[in-house]
């Protein structure tokens, strides 16, 4: 796995492997960052269910001010730390070993872009957009991007408007904008 754009383009990342791991493909990463290109420079980016941190590191590579990485798995946090060190971006990357839902409920930060890629079998992830809206952690005009299984539709309300959906095989990218 490697960074596909920005100042770290071509740099290889250490990634997790295993049956339970489903890293965001380079095709999907490229599509997300092509959509977000006008908004990424100077952004506060949250990479939820971060895994190896590829999305948040890609955001830093493309000009995000800071990336915040949240994952509850010790192995993910270890690999993520190695990737941040390898690219010398530890001062721009903030890592939290925590359940994403708990982090969202208690953080006082407001993000410009939140990307989430929860496990497809996770219970309750269809309400993730509602949780983000309720917690008021997204700037007005900010974006919530959810990578999810094509069989599940994330729920939302008037605070987060679904502005785009794109399907890639069994994966769907849903983009919501904070109104």
What is the DSSP-derived secondary structure letter of residue 126?
G
Q: List the Cα angle 63/109/176 in 5-degree steps.
A: 70
Which domains does the chain possess? 29-178 (3.40.50.150)
pTM of the model: 0.94
Residue 25's pLDDT band, with cuts at 50, 70 and 90, is confident
Residue 22's pLDDT band, with cuts at 50, 70 and 90, is low
pLDDT at residue 21, as a whole number: 59
pLDDT at residue 4, as a whole number: 93
Kind of pairing between the strands at 44-48 and 111-116: parallel
């Amino acid at each position: 796995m490697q960074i596909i754009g920005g100042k770290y383009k071509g740099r290889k990342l250490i990634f997790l492997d295993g049956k339970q791991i489903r890293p965001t493909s380079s095709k999907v990463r490229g599509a997300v960052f092509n959509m977000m290109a006008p908004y990424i420079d100077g952004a506060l980016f949250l990479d939820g269910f971060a895994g190896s941190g590829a999305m948040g590191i890609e955001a830093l590579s493309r000009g995000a001010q800071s990336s915040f990485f949240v994952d509850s798995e010790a192995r993910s946090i270890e690999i993520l730390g190695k990737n941040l060190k390898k690219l010398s971006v530890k001062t721009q990357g903030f890592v939290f070993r925590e359940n994403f839902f708990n982090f969202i409920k208690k953080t006082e930060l407001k993000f410009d872009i939140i990307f989430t890629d929860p496990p497809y079998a996770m219970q309750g992830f269809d309400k993730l957009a509602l949780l983000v809206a309720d917690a008021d952690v997204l700037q007005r005009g900010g974006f919530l991007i959810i990578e999810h299984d094509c069989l599940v539709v994330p729920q939302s309300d008037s605070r987060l408007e679904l502005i785009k959906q794109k399907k890639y095989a069994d994966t769907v990218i849903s983009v919501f904008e904070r109104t």
